[in-house]
C-alpha cells in the first residue's frame, strides 16, 4: 500500500512538472513574439490561429505545429475573458 502511494505521488509530481514546463516555454514564446494573453478574448485568439493571414501578421507562421499548439493553449487559457487572465500591469 505504501509503494502505491509513493508511485502515485511520483506520477503526480512528474505531471505537474511537465505542465509547468510547457507553460514556461509557451510564455517565453509569447514574450518573444510580443503577445500578451490578456489583450484579447479567447475567441480572438482562436480567430488568429485559425487564419493563415493573421498567423503571418503575428509571426506565427514560422512556428512548428507543437509550438503553435502550446502557444494557442497558453494564450487562450490566459485570455482576457478566462478565469485566470494574464494582463499587463498585474
Mean pLDDT for the chain?
Answer: 83
- The answer to whether 76 and 46 are in contact (CB under 8 A) is yes
DSSP structural state of residue 63:
S
The three grid cell numbers given for residue 72, joined into one nine-digit string: 494557442
pLDDT tens sequence across 39-76: 999 999 999 999 999 999 999 999 999 999 999 999 99
Structural domain boundaries in the chain = 2-77
Query: Does 18 score more than 70 pLDDT?
Result: no
Amino acid at each position: 500500500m505504501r509503494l502505491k502511494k509513493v508511485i502515485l505521488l511520483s506520477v503526480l509530481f512528474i505531471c505537474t512538472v511537465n505542465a509547468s514546463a510547457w507553460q514556461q516555454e509557451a510564455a517565453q514564446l509569447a514574450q518573444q513574439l510580443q503577445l500578451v494573453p490578456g489583450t484579447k478574448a479567447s475567441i480572438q485568439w482562436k480567430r488568429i490561429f485559425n487564419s493563415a493571414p493573421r498567423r503571418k501578421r503575428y509571426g506565427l507562421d514560422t512556428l512548428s505545429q507543437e509550438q503553435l499548439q502550446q502557444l494557442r493553449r497558453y494564450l487562450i487559457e490566459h485570455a482576457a475573458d478566462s478565469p485566470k487572465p494574464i494582463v499587463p500591469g498585474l
